Chain A
Amino acid sequence: MKASVIVFPGSNCDRDAAVALEAATGKPPAMVWHGDAELPNSDLIVLPGGFSYGDYLRSGAMAAHSPVMREVVKRAKAGTPVLGICNGFQVLTEAGLLPGVLMRNATLKFICKDVRLRVEREDTLYTRRYAKGEVVTFPIAHKDGSYFADDETLQRLEGEGRIAFRYCDVQGRITPEANPNGSRNNIAGIYNVSGTVLGLMPHPERLANPALGGTDGTKMFKSLVDSIAA
């Protein structure tokens, strides 16, 4: 699998994503500077976490209009898998590849901690190594992670099975207490219509090594390797 990680000014989880990808694929991904004209041929494009353009204007808003994103949008529309983590999710919504918006957390504060997520689908490129309904632990680290979409959009997402992960408790129950940031329907991540573009606020790359306290994130990268090889 050939992966590319897009680096914007202010990205800061680009290396973390690269390390997790290399661990899963056995080879380092291409690191693509946002100003580069050429985006290499890629089986997977990753938009990493961080504070692209310092979150000026709105989180992800400036990066969505950077030169490389025109090419990313084109590839995504042609079916190349695109994974947006944290700030990458914000960029995907700003670029129109995913619906909705990430608003300021309900607590109005930055939150960094492990959360439990329920895997809503096991039949996608990203999740084939998980079981449906499996409860996994990923960390979150964001201030603007409260997923919002209007009722109609939300209904469509739910109806089309496009919710990837929901915040839940240890038993997998979707409760208000388990919702760290006020996201509607406890949504932590969503897919595009074809299931090839995934945006999520939690960080799978941060729990993809036993020394860091867990490996639940590894299965996402391994799923991608399986899916793309298949």
Chain B
Amino acid sequence: MTQTKPAITPDLVVKHGLSAEEYRLLEAALGREPSLTELGIFSVMWSEHCSYKSSRVWLRKLPTEGPQVIQGPGENAGVVDLGDGQAAVFKIESHNHPSYIEPYQGAATGVGGIMRDVFTMGARPVANMNALRFGAPDHAKTRHLVAGVVSGIGDYGNCMGVPTIGGETNFDSRYNDNILVNAMCVGLVDASRIFTSAARGVGLHVVYVGSKTGRDGIHGATMASAEFDEASAEKRPTVQVGDPFTEKLLLEACLELMQEDAIVAIQDMGAAGLTSSSVEMADKGGVGIVLDLDQIPTRETGMTAYEMMLSESQERMLMVLKPGAEAAARRVFKKWELDFAIVGRTTDTGRLVVRHGDTIQADIPLSALAHAAPQYTRPWTPKPPPAPIMPEDVPAPNSLTAALEAVMGSPHLCSRAWIWQQYDHMVMADTVQRPGGDAGVVRVHGTQKGLAMSCDVTPRYCAADAREGAKQAVAECWRNLTATGADPLAITDCMNFGNPERPEVMGEFVAAIEGMAEACRALSFPVVSGNVSLYNETNGVAIPPTPAVGGIGLIPDIDWMAKIALQREGDVLILLGRESGHLGQSLYQELATGRNEGAPPPVDLAAERRTGDFVRSLIREGSVSAVHDVSDGGLLVTVAEMALAGGLGVELDPAPEGLTAHAIWFGEDQGRYVAAVAPQDVARILQEAAEAAIPARLVGKATGDALKLPGEAPLSLAALRNTHERWLPEFMGGS
């Protein structure tokens, strides 16, 4: 049936990332030997990246429903209700492998891809976030990777005119050869005008818009589904090249056309390009599709069907138009100077048929591509959680103040301003909380509502105990949103793990899903979208399990929003939540001993919810002037960050009697907040906390321009700021 018919050898099958057993299934689904184009199509559709074949059985365990959920997992992005006919569309996605191979383009196209997922659904992107994990600072590639990734993210988002309002960055030697670049995008849409990818209706035109197709990114999805080895750098040509200007035009053109009654279905061409977009649209619509590749706008001559079907050229969309809508669509895309071509139509055959020249290059039942993909319940071994260690087993510092300086100046906790100053975080003029606080917040344009968002996970906790670590990631995200006064709504998750074919890695994955599911249930914080990135390992060494959580929350009125900055001289700082001085897996332990040992801090989900709800009510009634959650580095770091943000010092009270002082100041017990309140409100708030069964105690008083610990010399904020802001620019400026 094809003109040239290269032999489908076992070697060629392996090169396409398919096992012998998978190839047998393929032949059974097709009823014959595939053509080369067909083999390529199956290989990307059945790749881990597109089929979730190792993870799907476990992902079903995550809670995905709630009254606020309009669209759960399965579409381009999740959608939650914001009231007043408005909805938020959001998703996080990894671009790990490409970013390690080519950091600038890898990160840039990751940002471009996630924004397309959001505006494909009819939403205007209003904010971006990102979660980045790099190797140790002293690793030869780290500086180069940080510089490339940050500038790639910045250049793409900045040109699009979408603010990047926060994120998180870790440095850890376990990511030396496998960095993680997870990009999140949040958009706003009219709840009655949400677009999906289901191409319902036969005989409708399939339209291609956006950039031309080139030979870039062929087999990106297969690359993202394999381990790295020494030869991986040779895969650079499989990394796509981004063009944010074209994407900006595509965004405006799509949103303009969406104002008219023209589109039946729309799907961006992301991983596996034309193949996955056409298969997904036809399959979800319950129709077949025929593509005429002679009509595809190409950037290069002589492209084969195989190359066109597998290209991952960026900034492209596929649409199915309503009958008669063609002229309107053509006019909009011409205005924005974008390619527009009718490349196929929907059929009633239930098959994907690909024509090129006068030959049929592929003819595959869609059910085989979309549903017959193998699903694995891979063997997994649980890992026993480590034993807790006692606070007194971690040595005390000579000086608490000096220890604070060491923690605040360390790569783990130093200021990230060098990063976020390269991101336009104010464009769209709705950013009401900039990077550096507990969560980024943008105003819902034209209203008093605020959309808070945060990305969280603590990899060292997950490495010790994936279940507790994943619980903690969800809880911390919920806490960060709560600390602004938001009602947390839902999350998107980016599950970054090693090779699932190894039972211990699969065991981590299973544990993380279970921990995440438990926390999401307890906090009514469902998962509405997400992404799984496996095979993050090099030469058999995996990354720590890294289930990154991106959450969003709604602030009903931004006049009642909390920030971390201390504002009023004389305000009293109250710690809310239970403290035990948990130093296992803490930053203090790492800096004091050079090791990560013991169990991570446990999360009491009932207490988490109770404390968070209490803090939110304090914010809403206007009883607090500043709030910050207690996380990495513990209580003293929390207070120091509040002081730096507000330019106002704190005189600290002694640690409670009977507890190990350095464990109280640096312990990372979960479910805690520090709130600043006016002196006359202290008694009332302590009383209310006691009635709600929430431990609360006084921590100190906002005053002056230094941090003062009992019995120690004051540390001026100027000196602390210098320590906090120095490391990253110096590191990046070095050679």
Chain A residues in the interface with B (C-beta under 8 A): 9-10, 12-13, 15-16, 19-20, 33, 35, 49-51, 53-56, 109-113, 139, 141, 143, 203, 205-206, 208-209, 211-213
Instruction: Tell me the complex Cα distance, A51–B245, Å.
Output: 8
Chain B residues in the interface with A (C-beta under 8 A): 151, 154-155, 158-161, 243-246, 248-249, 335-337, 420-432, 434, 443, 558
Are A12 and B431 in touch, CB under 8 angstroms? Answer: no
Q: Which residues of A lie under 8 Å from residue B246 when comparing CB positions?
A: 54
**A141 and B426 contact, Cβ closer than 8 Å, known pairs A10-B249, A51-B245, A54-B159:** yes
Q: Which residues of B lie under 8 Å from residue A53 when comparing CB positions?
A: 245
**A12 and B429 contact, Cβ closer than 8 Å, known pairs A54-B245, A113-B421, A211-B443:** no
- Cβ contact of B429, chosen from A10, A50, A205, cutoff 8 A: A205
Which 9 pairs between the two chains have the least Cβ-Cβ distance? A12-B161, A54-B245, A16-B429, A51-B159, A141-B424, A112-B424, A110-B422, A206-B426, A110-B154
CB distance from B209 to the nearest CB of A (A): 15
Instruction: Tell me the complex Cα distance, A133–B434, Å.
Output: 29
Are B422 and A109 in touch, CB under 8 angstroms? Answer: yes
Are A211 and B558 in touch, CB under 8 angstroms? Answer: yes
Q: A54-B243, A112-B425 are in contact. List 10 more A-B contacts (CB 8 A).
A: A12-B161, A16-B427, A53-B245, A54-B245, A55-B159, A56-B245, A111-B422, A143-B158, A208-B429, A212-B426
Are A15 and B428 in touch, CB under 8 angstroms? Answer: yes
**A35 and B335 contact, Cβ closer than 8 Å, known pairs A9-B249, A54-B243, A112-B422:** yes
CB distance from B333 to the nearest CB of A (A): 13
Q: Which residues of B lie under 8 Å from residue A139 when comparing CB positions?
A: 426
- Cβ contact of A12, chosen from B243, B422, B427, cutoff 8 A: B427
Q: Which residues of B lie under 8 Å from residue A208 when comparing CB positions?
A: 429
Are B244 and A54 in touch, CB under 8 angstroms? Answer: yes
Q: Which residues of B lie under 8 Å from residue A35 when comparing CB positions?
A: 335
CB distance from B348 to the nearest CB of A (A): 40
Q: Which residues of A lie under 8 Å from residue B429 when comparing CB positions?
A: 13, 15-16, 19-20, 205-206, 208-209, 212
Q: Which residues of A lie under 8 Å from residue B158 when comparing CB positions?
A: 51, 110, 112, 141, 143
Are A9 and B336 in touch, CB under 8 angstroms? Answer: yes
**A109 and B426 contact, Cβ closer than 8 Å, known pairs A13-B161, A51-B159:** no
CB distance from B433 to the nearest CB of A (A): 9
CB distance from A185 to the nearest CB of B (A): 24
Instruction: Tell me the complex Cα distance, A139–B151, Å.
Output: 20
Instruction: Tell me the complex Cα distance, A141–B429, Å.
Output: 12
Q: Which residues of B lie under 8 Å from residue A19 when comparing CB positions?
A: 429
25 contacts between A and B (CB under 8 A): A10-B159, A10-B245, A12-B159, A12-B160, A13-B161, A13-B429, A15-B428, A50-B161, A51-B161, A51-B244, A51-B248, A53-B245, A54-B159, A54-B246, A54-B248, A55-B245, A110-B422, A110-B424, A111-B422, A112-B158, A112-B426, A141-B158, A141-B424, A141-B427, A206-B427
Instruction: Tell me the complex Cα distance, A4–B625, Å.
Output: 41
CB distance from B590 to the nearest CB of A (A): 30
Instruction: Tell me the complex Cα distance, A155–B73, Å.
Output: 62
Are A12 and B248 in touch, CB under 8 angstroms? Answer: yes
Q: Which residues of B lie under 8 Å from residue A141 when comparing CB positions?
A: 158, 424, 426-427
Instruction: Tell me the complex Cα distance, A111–B158, Å.
Output: 11
Q: Which residues of B lie under 8 Å from residue A51 when comparing CB positions?
A: 158-159, 161, 244-245, 248
Q: Which residues of A lie under 8 Å from residue B424 when comparing CB positions?
A: 110, 112, 141
CB distance from A64 to the nearest CB of B (A): 16
- Cβ contact of B428, chosen from A16, A112, A143, cutoff 8 A: A16
CB distance from A143 to the nearest CB of B (A): 8
Q: Which of A20, A111, A139, A208 has the most CB of B within 10 A?
A: A139
Nearest-CB residue, chain B, relative to A14:
B161
CB distance from A78 to the nearest CB of B (A): 29
CB distance from A3 to the nearest CB of B (A): 16
Q: Which residues of A lie under 8 Å from residue B427 when comparing CB positions?
A: 12-13, 16, 49, 141, 206
Q: Which of B249, B420, B424 has the most CB of A within 10 A?
A: B424
CB distance from A170 to the nearest CB of B (A): 12
Nearest-CB residue, chain B, relative to A12:
B161
Instruction: Tell me the complex Cα distance, A212–B427, Å.
Output: 11
Are A203 and B426 in touch, CB under 8 angstroms? Answer: yes
Q: Which residues of B lie under 8 Å from residue A20 when comparing CB positions?
A: 429
Instruction: Tell me the complex Cα distance, A114–B261, Å.
Output: 43
Q: Which residues of B lie under 8 Å from residue A213 when comparing CB positions?
A: 432, 434
CB distance from B244 to the nearest CB of A (A): 7
